[in-house]
Amino acid sequence: MKSKIHPEYKTVKVHCACGATWTTRSTKGSELRLEICSSCHPFFTGKQKLVDSAGRVERYTRKYGKKKSSDAQA
């Protein structure tokens, strides 16, 4: 490695919105604040949060949801 061309890695403290904190190394040099981490992300926790913005999910289920059996016979 060439000297004086690589950024310096410093130990920084990371804070997540869920309250989790840990230390890591980064070139940023100051503390990091995250909105989501592996302790609260739905992919890692297995808990799926469905965020309904402006009733879009409800509108979708009304439009494309299960049809009544009387519709199938017609």
Of 9, 18, 12, 10, whose CA–CA distance to 31 is shortest?
Answer: 12
Residue 29's contacts (CB-CB under 8 Å, 6 or more residues apart) are: 8, 10, 12
pLDDT band at 25 (very low <50, low <70, confident <90, very high): very high
Q: How confident is the model over 4-14, as a mean pLDDT?
A: 90
11 is in which domain, residue-wise? 1-47
Q: Residue 18, Cβ neighbours under 10 Å: how many?
A: 13
pLDDT tens per residue across span 30-62: 898 988 887 777 666 677 655 556 677 778 888
- The verdict on residue 11 lying in a domain is yes
- The verdict on residue 73 lying in a domain is no
- The verdict on residue 57 lying in a domain is no
CATH of the domain at 42: 4.10.80.400
Number of domains in the chain: 1
List helix spans (H) across 9-74. Answer: 42-45, 56-64, 69-73
Supply the mean pLDDT for the chain: 78
- The verdict on residue 38 lying in a domain is yes
Q: What is the rounded CA–CA span in Å between residue 1 and residue 40?
A: 38
